[in-house]
Structure 1
Amino acid sequence: MDSSSAHRRGNTRRKLFEAAVTLIAEQGFSSTTVDEIAERAGVAKGTVYYNFASKTVLFEELLRDGIELLTVALQQAADETAARGGRRVDALDAMVRAGLEFIARHPALTQLYVAELWRTNRAWQPTLTQVRRKALAVIESVLRQAVAEDEVSTEIDVPLTASALFGMVLVTALDWQSFQPERSVDDVHAALSRLLQGRIGGGGAR
């Protein structure tokens, strides 16, 4: 496949992801048909099957793609903070901001991810577990560096704290989007930043 063909296929897959995620968020996975996804995306039904073996595979891949994009955003926030010479706690704060901004851009994806994560009978559950692990690994890496550099207490439970931070951002952002949409990302970030700095950032002074 040449670069132009790959680019076109990438654009088609992106359109299918966007169509599927909005439809499934609106009416559920079982009620959403391939015909509806194709129509919403503005492509032929055969195009869906050319790119994905089934509706299940499409949904699994869109969840994987979305959370991997979130993971990239978290890593970029950490890297940019490090490049500026910031502390590891500052990197965590930047990651919180990046997570909020990502979720504000992709609320339907986040809603579906949270809804599906604990449904262990789903075909895509192993994929969700895998991509969740990648996202948490980014946060855990920064936390371990913070411990090593004496920014936070050595008593901190790194895996559990990473999960708590990840979950805090997901749930807070969904609550914000659903029930407090009048609040700005700056407002929400400031509240989480104060919590982060107080509970984690102050841990180094033992």
Structure 2
Amino acid sequence: MSRQDTRAKVFAAAIELMAEQGYNATTVEAIAERAGVAKGTVFYNFGSKEALFAALLEHSIAKLAKALSAAAVGGSALAALDNVVLGQLRFFDEHGPLARVLLAEMWHTAWQEAVAQLREKALGVYAGVLREAVANGEVRAGLDVETAATALFGMVLTVSIERRALFPDRPLELTHKTLLELMHGRIT
């Protein structure tokens, strides 16, 4: 197994366990067992649980930002914004445990670098599309783009978690449509 494959297995195991029981209750031993690797393999690849979590956040935020950037297309800035929301919904539909970990664990002061990466890379996609919408007159002038970007990202993150946990049979398209109705009624 390649180092990249090993890291992917460890990341997947760590995300699942942290989503189930939280960062503090998750041990390196449990991560190794779930990943099907030796405990020493985890330490060899990451050095510590803290370094593993930092690498996991960096890796996951990069994947999320890539998905949001790829979704940020459309005939107008608002169409691109709609697509970014759908892209985030789809991403967290596929990576549900990550959504729970981000919401529960990432805001601790120990992970401020990861929060900065999230703001720059993922929320930055929202902010860029919103700036374009303001510049094009699609959204009211004077919109606090940074706060709006954070609010939209947080709203979609929370709704993604709720949908997976409480309404797994609710079509993603219905959730997307509802979010768009809320957004378009407030930001335009």
| Structure-2-length-normalised TM-score | 0.92
Pairs within 5 Å for 1:48-197: 48-78=42-72, 80-81=73-74, 86-120=75-109, 123-197=110-184
* Equivalent pairs, count: 188
Larger radius of gyration, structure 1 or 2? 1
Unpaired segments of 5 or more residues in structure 2?
none
Conserved? CA contact 1:63–1:128, under 8 Å: no
Distance in structure 2 (CA, Å) of the matches to 1:108 and 1:25: 5
Q: Does 1:9 align with 2:8?
A: no
Conserved? CA contact 1:110–1:170, under 8 Å: yes
| Structure-1-length-normalised TM-score | 0.85
How far off its partner does 1:18 sit? 0.2
In structure 1, the residue matched to 2:13 is 19
Distance in structure 2 (CA, Å) of the matches to 1:146 and 1:57: 38
- Identity %, equivalent residues: 48
How far off its partner does 1:118 sit? 3.0
Distance in structure 2 (CA, Å) of the matches to 1:63 and 1:115: 13
Distance in structure 2 (CA, Å) of the matches to 1:164 and 1:173: 14
Conserved? CA contact 1:63–1:109, under 8 Å: no
Query: Which residue type is aligned with residue 17 of structure 1?
Result: F
Unpaired segments of 5 or more residues in structure 1?
none
Distance in structure 1 (CA, Å) of the matches to 2:176 and 2:142: 26
